[in-house]
Every structure is written in structure tokens, then in C-alpha cells.
A = this chain, B = another copy of it.
Amino acid sequence: MYPVILALDARIQSNETPELVTLGPRVKPEDDKKNMTNPVLVDVIRGTTVESLHRGAACVVDRNGKLIAAWGDAEAAICPRSSLKPLQALALIDSGAAAAFTCTSEEIALACASHGGEPIHVDRVAAWLKRVGLSHKELECGAHLPGTESAARALLRGDEKATAIHNNCSGKHTGFLCCALHIGAATKGYIAPDHPVQRRVLGAIGALCECATTNVVIDGCSAPNLFMPLRALALGWARLPDGLTKPMKAHPELVAGTGRPDVELVKAMADGGVAKAGAEGVFAAGLPDQGLGFAVKIDDGAGRAALVALAAILRKHGGFRRDTDVAALLRPAVTNWRGTRTGELRAAGPLTTV
């Protein structure tokens, strides 16, 4: 059903005996998940004592679906939230919409973004919408203040109102709209799970990640998201086509925002390596050259821990450039309102790096 997606990545076909693992419909019922005890992956230290701790699951998968490493329950169903965005953008490319609308590398990066609502993001999304004959009024993601504080302050100082274009997901939604226009579907209501665009998006994800796409939920931006095994998310990231990873690698500041550690992470990653955070403690990454995908889900939803856990795993698997100091990603400081260092986050248990 989505041959173009797989054809985009010749590396999958190059393996003559693909050891494809069918992850199938493994959405676990609530009670199973409650009884699962994942290991502590990250400690939060104040002074010299553990103040808080974060349990979670993580895994590394190759593009044939082979599980290279796992910590905790990698089969449990998790909701990838915004770490799904590059997979949601598959349909933009696969449908031919990106080519038909001559989408730039920057626009593809924005389609995969949880951006900070800064002028570099908002201006590009506005120009993209205008080029295809639309405006922010067609975006159905809801409005919120820019995530980057300086951009939020500037908006408030100018007494300007935040619109849907400032929503961190406005690039993804513009991608959905392009897809709708290209396949001749209605633009209004493009976020409904049964809209042709979303059916195509979920179909592409199911095909690439080899998982059921039946447990569909509503995301913070009102678009559909889903529960899928953590391992399936890593598999999708192992298989992301160059058409998506190259723009994300070229424009990390468009995928996130000024000063965000996500940007530093992607810049520090080995050739071609990309990563994307999701709400509720999810972080996924891909190393196209090694053909590896990574996924982390912190049980309690803490993004601060997902970043540290992913950084520790990437370090174990050669995910960083050799000339890069990643200490600030592995052991970020906790500081207080006066800037005093009061503690730090630190990979723990099976991910201990020190």
C-alpha cells in the first residue's frame, strides 16, 4: 500500500534476507503496564543525595527489526507524541505532495518540528502556507504562546495575540494541509482520524513500523497519535528515509528552538544522526549510516530524563561525533533562580556513564 516509502530507502531492500520482526497488535491493557517495573534510568541529585528518580524503557533496533539492546519493557505500548512527527511526515513525501509543492529542505524540517514559535519558524511556515494558497486560519492545531521564551516575551511586549502559527506543531499541520490539497481531500477537518490524510499517515506508519495503528488517541495539537510498542517506534526511526533525515540534520534549529538541548544533541550526533523529543518523556533517534533506531519512554513522562537517557544510550552505541563534548547532555546541571548549581541529572542503573 505504501511502496514509495519503502522504495525511498534502498537500504531496506539491499538486505537480501530481511529478518523482519512482526511486532503486531501488542497494545497492552492498563493492568499489564501498571505491574511492569522498568529500571531507574536517570537520577536527579540535589547536593549529594538522590532527590527524584526516573524509571523507563529504552531500546535500540536495526532497520531489519532486530533488537540490538533493550532496557525495561521494549514491547509495552507507548504513545510517541511528537517523536512521531517525522513518521507522520512520511505521507507528505510518499503522497507526492512535497514534490508537487516543491517543498524546501527547511519546510520538510518544519513538518517534523516541535518548534519554538520564533520568527525563523513562524515566518517560514507563513510563507509556506501562503505559497499553497492557505493561511494560519486553516490550521486546526490551536494557539499557544511560543515555546521559546524570548519569542513569547516579544509577542507579549507587542501586545500581539498568539495564533495557530505559533503552535509548535504548525509545520506538521501545514504538511497535513499540503497532503490534503494534493490528494484532493477537504482541508477542513484534516485532523479527524478518518480523514483521508490521517488514514494515509497512519497507514504509512503501520507499514514502516510494522505495527497495528488501531489504538488512536488525540494529541496536544488535536491531530491523531497512537499507542505502539516502543520497539516499533525505534524501528520506524531506523528506517526513516533520507528525504526526512537530511532536512532534519541540516536544520536542527528549525526542528526545535534556540537554546534547546535537542539542537545540541542533534549537532553532536554522528554523521546523519537525528533525534526528536515527544511529550510525556519520549525521545527517539536514528543513525542512518549505522542503520539504527533508538527509542526511550520515561514511565512518568519527564522530558528532562528522556534526554539524559537517550544521550547515555547514544554514547554507548557510537552515536556521537568523536570530537564533541557531550558532558552537558549526559549530566545537565540543576541550577536555582540565582544561577547557583544545586545538583544535576545523571544517567543511572543500567545506563550509568560514570
Contacts and interface: CB of A to CB of B under 8 A. Distances in A.
Given A218-B342, A337-B221, A302 B299 contact: no
A50 interface: yes
Interface string A316-354: 000000000000000000001111101100001100000
Interface size bucket, A side?
35 or more
B340 A49 contact: no
A153 interface: yes
A123 interface: no
B220 A337 contact: yes
A301 interface: yes
Contacts of A349: 34
Given A49-B227, A142-B337, 4 more contacts: A30-B50, A51-B227, A156-B156, A167-B337
A280 B218 contact: no
Contacts of A97: none
A140 B51 CA distance: 24
Interface in A86-109: none
Nearest to A223: B336
Interface stretch (A52-60, A181-189, A251-259, A307-315): A52-60
A234 interface: no
A49 B217 contact: yes
13 contacts: A30-B48, A34-B43, A44-B280, A51-B79, A51-B227, A156-B156, A218-B340, A219-B336, A220-B342, A222-B336, A222-B338, A222-B340, A302-B302
A5 interface: no
Interface of A: 27, 30, 33-34, 37, 40, 43-44, 46-55, 77-79, 140-144, 153, 156-157, 159, 167, 215-222, 227, 280-281, 298-302, 305, 336-340, 342-343, 348-349
A153 B160 CA distance: 11
B348 A34 contact: yes
Contact of A281 (B52, B221, B348): B52
A185 to B, nearest CB: 21
Contacts of A342: 217-220
B336 A142 contact: yes
Contacts of A34: 40, 43, 50, 53, 348-349
A336 B221 contact: yes
Contacts of A49: 27, 30, 33, 77, 79, 215, 217, 227
